[in-house]
Structure 1
């Protein structure tokens, strides 16, 4: 836990998205995304059905760790979470790193993810 309640709240929700990918839980994934969700990825755009659809055959991620988290309020009912993710895709033996920014909206039912953009992390340089 940090000293930032917003960061802690958003991290908990973001981890639920990752947990859905680890468990292959399409229902959990769907419950965390708004109907008009937009994902921006290296292979193009994705809507909610594409994000949830990746779990049609089960888990897509073996494990993950989120580091260097930063939260920023974007008004009273929206917030942005940015972080570095290190993860292992299901059935692959090499860790991958990427930077992620997610925008969350506070609703009566809790936070929902409305936008996410992933950027592959480049090789470290000296």
Structure 2
């Protein structure tokens, strides 16, 4: 955290950046979920930043972008609901996006139903926003 604060303090200020656009980031999260559901791997992969990692509620540790995209073939997402979006700035080119996700589908033919608290770190790359890290935690 100290390194992030120091790097942020030394980063040049961008007059055109007014902080993370909450509606744009929420739309990108929703599109990523829809791309996962419809198995649009190219569109899903395009939103992942270089160095992407994810830690899911299964306790299997971190996954990289390749593993996350491959999961699309293993998980048949039938339905999902995303609520309670909050977007908080992290410096001038980053944002923490948190929300609740309820979803159901099948993994290897077995039914799955989850409710998760999700935290995502988004970073601006050029004029676009990409997701760098996702953390899913089971919720009641």
- TM (norm. structure 1) is 0.83
Unaligned runs of 5+ in 1: none
CA distance, structure 1, for counterparts of residue 134 and residue 46 of structure 2 = 15
Deviations 1:45-97 (A, max 9, x none): 1000000111236x631111111111100011100100100111246656421
Please report the RMSD computed on the Cα atoms of aligned residues, expressed in angstroms.
1.9
Tell me the matched-pair count: 117
- Which residue of structure 2 lines up, in the alignment, with residue 17 of structure 1? 32
Larger of the two Rg values belongs to structure: 2
CA distance, structure 2, for counterparts of residue 92 and residue 67 of structure 1 = 25
**1:88, 1:95 within 8 Å by CA — same for their partners in 2?**
yes
- Which residue of structure 2 lines up, in the alignment, with residue 104 of structure 1? 122
2:66 aligned with 1:46? no
Unaligned runs of 5+ in 2: 1-19
Alignment of 1:85-100 (within 5 A): 85-90=101-106, 95-100=113-118
Question: Residue 54 of structure 1: SS of its match in structure 2?
Answer: helix
- Which residue of structure 1 lines up, in the alignment, with residue 45 of structure 2? 30
- TM (norm. structure 2) is 0.76
Question: Residue 21 of structure 2: SS of its match in structure 1?
Answer: helix
Q: Which runs of 4+ in 1 moved over 3 A?
A: 90-95
